[in-house]
């Protein structure tokens, strides 16, 4: 485990800092040993035997992550429809990329396409920065009002090696800008742009950077809680998925390969809606063979995501222990898109998408029902 292997590292550190790191790593190791003992000796014997938490408790968890109340049965059916739509769309795009080919064939073809690869972290960082700078420049003229301090987004290679891309917000005074980080696993030297273009939009512009930095910027109208800390995953991650779809609608993902990459991630988020509600409400399985349980959930995800089995197994275990969290991304996106439509209807001929984005982001981090009441 990470804690078991914790050490000061291979770099040259002052002796006092190395001692502090070693002492704190040892303290963490002891704490995790105690936690493991508690989980196995005290909690496990009294834990529930069912995977499902039940409708009533699940509804509370869902509202906590969304800041909104939803119809769980309708959302489950919508999730199934979304998943089927994305599978069909991916199959169509696969044939555009490789006539007569399946999605798996198209992915294998793209993974061998050198024109869609970056080699080395320097090339990766340049691509991230150029992609983000272009999005800021072009969207700032058409679909967003981007204040000057927010126009700077710094793209970085993370010092860690866990994999994945993430965003950190600016300092309160913007002396350090918002940053998008790519944590490159050890030994990985090539990167597929068709897989990750949508993720750059998700984490950067118009995704988390515009959302988080806009709140930080609004010192005159928002208190520190709303600017720096408040929010729900439905609001934050729903916006980032909304941003991905927006970029598709605006033509930034017209290349079939880039669109296939975007749909791969969106398909996973839709599958999580179905799985999470299905397991915790003990819904009938889509295949008609009984009700959802942990074993079927694992099989369902294996068939619906393009990820290593060990990662899928970890994810499913997370969903079982964290009800309502995983669906909040895709359901949050749905609420954001419905909110834009309702705002447009209310505004009529005066509707401006730039105005919608500004007014929505100016509210800061809130639950999605609160956001709706503020806008419509």
- Does residue 242 carry a pLDDT above 50? yes
User: Can you tell me whether residue 153 is helix, strand or coil?
Assistant: strand
CA–CA distances in Å: residue 335 to residues 70, 157, 367: 10, 33, 11
CB-based contacts of 366, cutoff 8 Å, min separation 6: 67, 226, 230, 231, 232, 235, 374
pLDDT given at position 8: 46
Mean pLDDT of 288-316: 92
Establish how many alpha carbons lie within 13 A of residue 72's alpha carbon, considering only the half-sphere containing its beta carbon.
21
Establish how many alpha carbons lie within 13 A of residue 220's alpha carbon, considering only the half-sphere containing its beta carbon.
0
Mean pLDDT of 166-180: 96
Mean pLDDT of 256-275: 96
CB 326 within 8 A of CB 272: yes
In tens, the pLDDT along 202-231 reads 999 999 999 999 999 999 999 999 898 888
CB 227 within 8 A of CB 364: yes
Q: What is the mean pLDDT of the chain?
A: 94
- Single out the residue of 292, 63, 165, 111 nearest to residue 301, CA to CA: 292
Mean pLDDT of 247-262: 97
Lowest-pLDDT choice from 5-19, 118-132, 159-173, 288-302: 5-19
Q: How many CB atoms neighbour CB 71 within 10 A?
A: 9
- Single out the residue of 104, 89, 50, 108 nearest to residue 303, CA to CA: 104
CB-based contacts of 185, cutoff 8 Å, min separation 6: 161, 162, 163
pLDDT given at position 18: 87
Q: Are strands 165-168 and 190-192 parallel, antiparallel or unpaired?
A: unpaired
pLDDT given at position 4: 46
The DSSP call for residue 171 is: P
Site of tokens 């074993």: 295
Mean pLDDT of 132-160: 97
CB 97 within 8 A of CB 257: yes
- Give the pLDDT band (50/70/90) at residue 12: low
Strand partners, 166: 181
Q: How many CB atoms neighbour CB 168 within 10 A?
A: 18
CB-based contacts of 123, cutoff 8 Å, min separation 6: none
- Determine the Cα–Cα distance for residues 235 and 271; give it in Å rounded to an integer: 19
In tens, the pLDDT along 32-85 reads 999 999 999 999 999 888 889 999 999 999 999 999 999 999 999 999 999 999
Mean pLDDT of 100-112: 96
Phi, psi dihedrals of residue 115, rounded to the nearest 5°: -70, -15
Angle of CA points 299, 300, 306, to nearest 5°: 95
**So where are the chain's domains?**
1-47, 55-328
pLDDT given at position 308: 85
- Give the pLDDT band (50/70/90) at residue 11: low
Q: Report CA torsion sign: 306, 310, 313, 315.
A: negative
CB-based contacts of 15, cutoff 8 Å, min separation 6: none
CB-based contacts of 32, cutoff 8 Å, min separation 6: 1, 3
Mean pLDDT of 306-313: 88
pLDDT given at position 222: 94
pLDDT given at position 5: 47
Residue 258 or residue 51, greater confidence: 258
CA 246 to chain CA centroid, nearest Å? 15
The two tokens of residue 211 are 């959302």
In tens, the pLDDT along 343-352 reads 999 999 999 9
pLDDT given at position 164: 86
- Does residue 10 carry a pLDDT above 60? no
């Amino acid at each position: 485990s990470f804690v078991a292997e914790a050490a000061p590292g291979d770099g040259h550190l002052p002796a006092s800092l190395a001692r502090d790191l070693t002492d704190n790593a040892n303290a963490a190791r002891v704490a995790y040993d105690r936690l493991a003992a508690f989980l196995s000796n005290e909690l496990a014997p009294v834990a529930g035997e069912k995977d499902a938490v039940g409708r009533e408790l699940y509804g509370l968890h869902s509202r906590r992550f969304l800041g909104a109340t939803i119809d769980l049965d309708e959302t489950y059916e919508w999730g199934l429809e979304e998943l089927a739509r994305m599978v069909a769309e991916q199959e169509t795009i696969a044939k555009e990329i490789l006539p007569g080919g399946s999605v798996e064939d198209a992915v294998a073809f793209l993974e061998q396409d050198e024109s869609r690869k970056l080699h080395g972290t320097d090339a990766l960082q340049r691509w991230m920065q150029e992609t983000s700078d272009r999005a800021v420049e072009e969207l700032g003229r058409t679909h967003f009002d981007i204040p000057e301090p927010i126009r700077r987004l710094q793209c970085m290679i993370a010092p860690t090696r866990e994999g994945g891309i993430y965003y950190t917000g600016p300092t309160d005074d913007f002396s350090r800008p918002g940053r998008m980080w790519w944590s490159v696993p050890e030994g990985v030297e090539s990167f597929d742009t068709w897989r990750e273009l949508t993720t750059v939009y998700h984490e950067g512009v118009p995704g988390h950077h515009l959302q988080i930095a806009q709140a930080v910027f609004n010192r005159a109208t928002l208190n520190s809680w709303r600017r720096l800390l408040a929010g729900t995953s439905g609001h934050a991650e729903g916006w980032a998925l909304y941003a991905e779809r927006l970029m598709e609608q605006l033509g930034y993902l017209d290349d079939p390969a880039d669109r296939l990459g975007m749909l791969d991630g969106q398909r996973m988020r839709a599958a999580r809606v179905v799985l999470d509600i299905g397991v915790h409400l003990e819904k009938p399985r889509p295949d008609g063979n009984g009700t959802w349980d942990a074993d079927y959930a694992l099989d369902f995800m294996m068939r619906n995501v393009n990820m290593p089995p060990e990662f899928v197994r970890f994810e499913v275990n997370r969903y079982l222990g964290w009800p309502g969290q995983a669906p909040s991304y895709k359901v949050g996106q749905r609420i954001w898109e419905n909110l834009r439509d309702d705002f447009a209807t209310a505004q009529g001929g005066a509707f401006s998408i730039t105005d919608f984005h500004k007014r929505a982001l100016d509210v800061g981090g809130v639950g999605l029902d609160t956001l709706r009441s503020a806008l419509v």
